[in-house]
Amino acid sequence: MKYIALACLIVLAACQQKQETTEHQHYFSFVIDTQLPGKPEAVYDKLTGDISPWWDHTFSGNPHQLYIEAKPGGGFYEIFDESGDGVRHAVVTGAQRGQMLRMEGPLGLAGHALSLVTTYHLSEANDSTQLKIEVHGAGEFEDEWPEIIENVWKHFIIEQFKPYWEEKHKTGMAQ
């Protein structure tokens, strides 16, 4: 009887600990959707590789290189200087040119126990490209961070990339 009571106490403590853990888990998600002129492959090529012409938030302020290596296991890198010092903001977990790019990492929130999964979905829409950015976050963050993170992504895609891409496309330099 003593062992049954002890086992019940252990199970009860584990249930309480599990309940406390799940109450403190945080997660969020959002989607940004926009239409861009041109073919998905051309848009994808400007969303990856050297992104310094349109990505304007960095740790270093003026990186030597800023690029997304669009292949599984590749990275989103900010290289600070010629010596190679820098940071990997995310790792590429999926890449299909003209269709999808998926990255996992904290991006600009390195140092926090926060995981972000960011997926670019590209699809052809007549003579344009439908670009949908899906972001899922979980882990350690303040209550206001999801809204801030969403606004920063809107800044990158709607305010920075879209005008950059439209200008390149208009002048024929999008290829």
pTM (2 decimals)?
0.82
| DSSP label of 157 | I
pLDDT of residue 25: 56
Question: What are the DSSP E strand ranges found in the chain?
Answer: 27-37, 49-50, 65-68, 75-79, 86-96, 100-104, 114-125, 128-139
Encode pLDDT of 125-148 as tens digits: 998 999 999 999 999 888 899 999
Distances (CA, A) of 51 to 68, 141, 147, 171: 7, 27, 24, 19
Encode pLDDT of 77-125 as tens digits: 999 999 999 999 999 999 999 999 999 998 888 888 889 999 999 999 9
Domains in the chain (CATH in brackets) are 26-170 (3.30.530.20)
Answer for the pair 78, 60: CB distance below 8 angstroms, yes or no: yes
Q: Which value, to the nearest 10 degrees, does the dihedral of the CA atoms of residues 129, 91, 152, 63 take?
A: -100
